[in-house]
Structure 1
Amino acid sequence: MSESFHEFVVQRSPALSRTAYLLTGDHQLAEDLLQSALARTYRHWRRIHGGDPEAYVRRAMYHQQVSWWRRRRVAERLEAVPTERPRDDHSDATALRLTLDAALRRLTPRQRAVLVLRYYEDLTEAQVAEVLGCSIGTVKRHGHDAVRRLRAIAPELVDRPAERSVR
């Protein structure tokens, strides 16, 4: 393995792993998604290492996730959070995370990707458009539709103050 690719993987894997999780909503699928994207990146490393390999990996993850989503299209349904909660734990943060995960799963893959790249990865609209291979207007439309849908799906997320521990 080339030394520069190895350094890239070591340095950027934690951030890319979080992005993969947000795209899939599942830790095991996120690991598979990242591995698949890194394998594709390695095959083309000579061509892309001088540019922005992280954007290449993100794009590969996004396209792979859409491909998986189209293949399986199994409707997942999450049950409500149990009413009895153990005391002295992080139940509020956990409930918020579960609510957010469930709400994100109900978005289209492209809407979820726009939200993840825009608000979690903190990319500009132009950078998101480049990663997803679409126009800035499309990014804005998907972002607007996704936020509107999140507000309808999980209005309790709107009333809560922003919490950094949700990540």
Structure 2
Amino acid sequence: MADNEYTEYVTAALPWLRRTAYLLCGDVHSADDVVQVAITRLYTNWRKARAADNLDAYVRAILVRTFLNERRRPWSRVRLFDRVDELKAVTNPASETTDFETREEIRVALTRMPPGQRAVLVLRFLFDLPVAEVARALRCSEGTVKSQTSAGLASLRTQLGVTK
């Protein structure tokens, strides 16, 4: 029964897991790797995960921590391609009104940021999470989340040529 619950949950969550991982990683292939590691970790901790107050938040934290851990490894800096342009494969269908160029500019700007700032911005603005929840997911202080948010937004503004 537990395996069926796990399979049903992962099947339903896979689209948003892939979108989130893509925004964090910047390319589809790395995102798929991060999702695979995250759902494997979820499987090994499924009993604990099922008991969580908010299963999606629990899984999102696993995903973000997996991304951050993978970015710390030296092999993660090896790139076989300069750019993989497969944004439509993981785009949120609900956001189709946003033009492709704007999404692409933001995606590219995110890939130029340090992983910690990228993770904070994705959690704060894609998932609209409060500072306290982002801090719990990243296992850092609320002050760190606030400073990373501020620095990340400043970097995005600079890269996109936006003035306050």
Give the aligned partner of residue 63 of structure 1: 65
SS in 2 for 1:2: helix
Give the aligned partner of residue 111 of structure 2: 105
Any residues of structure 2 matched to 1:1-167 within 5 Å, and which? 2-51=3-52, 52-70=54-72, 71=74, 72-73=76-77, 93-155=99-161
1:62-90 CA deviation, whole Å, 9 max, x = no partner?
A: 22222322223358977xxxxxxxxxxx9
Letter in 2 for 1:50: A
Alignment check: 8 A CA contact 1:41 1:53 kept: no
Aligned residues: 146
Alignment check: 8 A CA contact 1:19 1:121 kept: no
Runs of at least 5 residues in structure 2 that lack an aligned partner in the other structure:
84-95
Distance in 1, matches of 2:36 and 2:42, equals 10
Alignment check: 8 A CA contact 1:104 1:150 kept: yes
1:30-72 CA deviation, whole Å, 9 max, x = no partner?
A: 1221111000010011122111332232222222222322223
Instruction: Single out whichever of 9-18 and 135-144 deviates more from structure 2.
Output: 9-18
1:112-141 CA deviation, whole Å, 9 max, x = no partner?
A: 011101100111111111111111111111
Shift of 1:100: 1.1
Letter in 1 for 2:9: F
Distance in 2, matches of 1:74 and 1:154, equals 26
Runs of at least 5 residues in structure 1 that lack an aligned partner in the other structure:
79-89, 160-167
Alignment check: 8 A CA contact 1:33 1:65 kept: yes
Alignment check: 8 A CA contact 2:17 2:63 kept: no
Give the aligned partner of residue 82 of structure 1: none
> What percent identity do the matched residue pairs reach?
37
Distance in 2, matches of 1:37 and 1:74, equals 21
Q: Which has the larger radius of gyration?
A: 1
Alignment check: 8 A CA contact 2:38 2:63 kept: yes
